[in-house]
Structure 1
Amino acid sequence: MTPDHDHHHEHDHHEHDHQARPTATWSAAAAATLHCLTGCAIGEVLGMVIGTAAGLPSTATVLLSIALAFVFGYGLTARGVLRAGVGPRDALKVALAADTVSIALMELLDNAFVLAVPGAMNAGLTSPLFWISLAGSLAVAFALTTPVNRWMIARGRGHAVVHQYHHAH
């Protein structure tokens, strides 16, 4: 075998692997990020409402919001995988593989943003400052997480592991 032949064989194999993966377009990355962001937003808002209503300290409220963001993020993904006929344990494994990096990065970014806005954490649920800072934080998290999701999809990771289940149902 000549070195050129080996190179062609590797190149053909690489193209075949790439074709099995979803295309790492900006649109696919944005859709994956929006999906994660939806779960994060639901969890964060619910955590803030529960924490505020229960009179929890700010730190406990933030931790509750982060925990619920992961629960709802994973739950939305697992729900779709379950609909494709996958069992609960495997659906959870897929959700963990698909969303952990994305949700963790979004939580880091959006919580850092809200903490950086003077008075936002103490503004309360009835204050426009709270809601404006939350909306801004989610926009920043979306903008900065989308390129990471695109990079992961291109490598068959992150949301790419869910791709096969989107068309199964």
Structure 2
Amino acid sequence: MAASATLHCLTGCAIGEVLGMVIATALGWHNLPSIVLAVALAFVFGYALTLRGLFRAGLKWRQALRLALAADTLSILVMEIVDNGVMLIVPGAMDAGLASLLFWGALAFSLLVAFLVTTPINKWIIGRGKGHAVIHAYHH
């Protein structure tokens, strides 16, 4: 269940991260605005994927939003800290162009590391009846 929850979170984060990094790199932005955009979009897409399932289950906006925030916030936060941290420590990754193997390789590696770090955290959260454990019943 923890791996599934982390993969769900990773999907939203990856969409936001990739889109944010692509936009920022194409616009020639420096590291800080690139990271801010990527993190903001990761949260938007992460929550959106959860909300989609909750809306399908018939929940109203307010209840669905509260559940999505409770289920995903810590997971997305950890994932974003890790993957952006990895991007910052890989030499040249943040300055590599969109056509660069370094950019895409570092981004893929950063998401893999984020998944590996976040999975045990999600396992711990779920074990306490929090995080995705709160919304698991709505996914069926």
Please give the TM-score of this superposition, normalised by the length of structure 1: 0.80
State the secondary structure of the residue aligned to 1:105.
helix
Deviations 1:41-71 (A, max 9, x none): 0001111122123333221111000000000
Structure 1 CA distance for aligned equivalents of residues 68 and 94 of structure 2: 30
User: Following the alignment from structure 2 to structure 1, what is the Cα–Cα distance between the partners of residues 40 and 132?
Assistant: 20
For residue 34 of structure 1, the aligned residue among 1, 4, 7 is 7
Distance 2:63 2:29 in 1: 35
Identity of aligned residues (%): 65
List gaps (5 residues or longer) in structure 2: none
> 1:147 pairs with 102, 120, 123, which one?
120
Q: Name the residue aligned to 2:52.
A: 79
The question of whether the paired residues in 1 share the 8 Å contact of 2:84 and 2:110 is answered with yes
1:119 corresponds to: 92
Runs of at least 5 residues in structure 1 that lack an aligned partner in the other structure: 1-27
After superposition, where does 1:14-29 map in structure 2 within 5 Å?
Answer: 28-29=1-2
Q: Tell me the distance in 1 between the aligned counterparts of 2:139 and 2:105.
A: 34
C-alpha separation between the residues in 2 aligned to 1:124 and 1:66? 19
Number of equivalences = 140
Aligned to 2:18: 45
Residue 141 of structure 1 deviates from its aligned partner by 0.6
Letter in 1 for 2:68: A
Query: Which runs of at least 4 in structure 1 moved beyond 4 Å after TM superposition?
Result: none
The amino acid across from 2:120 in the alignment is: P
Out of 56, 71, 80, the residue aligned to residue 107 of structure 1 is 80
- Superposed CA offset, 1:6-40 (max 9, x none): xxxxxxxxxxxxxxxxxxxxxx1000000000000
Aligned to 1:162: 135
Alpha-carbon distance in 1 for matches of 2:106, 2:25: 17
CA distance in structure 1 between the aligned counterparts of 2:62 and 2:26, rounded to whole angstroms: 34
Say whether 1:133 aligns with 2:106: yes
Q: Distance in 2 between matches of 1:86 and 1:67?
A: 25
Equivalent-residue separation in structure 1 for 2:97 and 2:132 (angstroms): 34
Task: Give deviations 1:125-147, integer Å, cap 9, x for gaps.
Answer: 11000111111111111011101
C-alpha distance in 2, partners of 1:70/1:124?
24
Which amino acid in structure 2 is aligned with residue 76 of structure 1? L
